[in-house]
Amino acid sequence: MFINFIYLAKSTKKTMLTLTLVCAITFLLVCSGTFFPYSSNPANPKPKRVFLQHMTRTFHDLEGNAVKRDSGIWINGFDYTGMSHITPHIPEINDSIRAHCEENAPLCGFPWYLPVHFLIRKNWYLPAPEVSPRNPAHFRLISKEQTPWDSIKLTFEATGPSHMSFYVRAHKGSTLSQWSLGNGTPVTSKGGDYFVFYSHGLQASAWQFWIEVQVSEEHPEGMVTVAIAAHYLSGEDKRSPQLDALKERFPDWTFPSAWVCTYDLFVF
C-alpha cells in the first residue's frame, strides 16, 4: 500500500526525496541522543542493560609461566548507544578505556558469559584491584597422549563455581577433531574459536573432559590456546567493594548486572 501511494503521488521523485530526508533526520536525532531512549517509570520501564564483570586475568605461555596479569571491571552495554549516556554520570567510563582485543586469545581474551562477541563491538575495561574469591577456580592438564590415529589427546580438570566458560583456539596447522563434550563433534562459534558453557549444582565433582587435536605441522608456539573463566554469580564471592561502589553510581534508568570472575589462559 505504501509503494502504491508513492506511485500515485503527483511527483514520485519529490515524494521519495522527502521520505528519505525525514528518515535521515530521524536517524540523526536518535543517534545523537535527542530522543532519550530510556525510562525508569514503573508503568513503562525502558532500562538500559549493562554487564559489569570485575575480573582478574592471567595469561600463561607454553612453558606454563604467567606472562601477563591484569585486573579491572569489564563493561558491556547491550544496545547501540554504548556508554554515551552513562559517561555524564560516571566520567571515568569513556572511550579512553575502551577494551582492546587480545589478538592471540580466543574471544579476544575476555570472559564472555555467552558467545555473543560478534554482536558487541564495543566494550570498556576500567582498571581495578585484583579479585580474591574464597572459592578460587583451579584448572590443570591431567594428561597429554598420542592416539593410535596420530592426534594429541589433552585431558583437563577444572573446579570452581557453578558457572564456568571454556574457550579454545586451534593454532595454525592444528585442528580440533573430537572432544568429550556434547555429541563429540567440536563446533566453532562465529570467528573460528570454540565456546563451551558449563554449569552445575551446589555440590559437584571436578569437571573432567578432553579435546583431541590433529596436528598437520609442528608449530613453535604450541597446538592450541585454551582459557577458562569462572563466573561467581551468587554468594559473597559475587561482590567486591569496587564493583558495589561502581554499580551504585549508575542512574536509575539502567539495569546493571554485576559479578566477579576470573580468567586464566594457557597454551599447549
Reading the chain (268 residues) residue by residue, the pLDDT tens digits are: 555 555 555 556 776 777 788 777 777 765 555 578 898 888 888 999 999 999 999 999 999 999 999 999 999 998 888 999 999 999 999 999 999 999 999 999 999 998 888 878 899 999 999 999 999 999 999 999 999 999 999 999 999 999 999 999 999 999 999 999 999 999 998 889 999 999 999 889 999 999 999 998 777 889 999 999 999 999 999 999 999 999 999 999 999 999 999 999 999 9
Residue 148, pLDDT score: 93
How far is 103 from 43, CA to CA, in rounded Å?
45
pTM of the model: 0.84
Nearest to 152 by CA among 226, 252, 67: 226
Which long-range contacts (C-beta less than 8 Å, at least 24 apart) are formed by 202-207?
A: 202/162, 204/162, 206/157, 206/158, 206/159, 207/157, 207/158, 207/159, 207/164
165: closest CA among 191, 130, 195, 139? 195
Residue 142 neighbours by CB distance under 10 Å: 12
Considering only CA atoms, which of 149, 132, 151 is closest in space to residue 260? 132
- Round to whole Å and give the CA distance between 196 and 106: 12
Ramachandran region, residue 110 (left: φ > 0; alpha: ψ -120 to 50; beta: rest): beta
Q: What share of the chain is helix, strand, coil (3-state, %, to 5)?
A: 15, 40, 45
Q: In what order do the strands lie in the sheet containing 207-215?
A: 138-146, 151-159, 207-215, 174-179
Task: List alpha helices for the chain, DSSP H.
Answer: 2-8, 12-31, 241-248
Q: What pLDDT, on the 0 to 100 scale, is given for residue 171?
A: 94
And the C-alpha cell for 259?
Answer: 559479578
pLDDT of residue 124: 97
* Predicted local distance difference test score (pLDDT) of residue 241: 97
DSSP 31: H
- pLDDT score at 218: 77
Q: Tell me which DSSP letter residue 96 carries.
A: G
CB 138 within 8 A of CB 208: no
What is the per-residue pLDDT for 24? 78
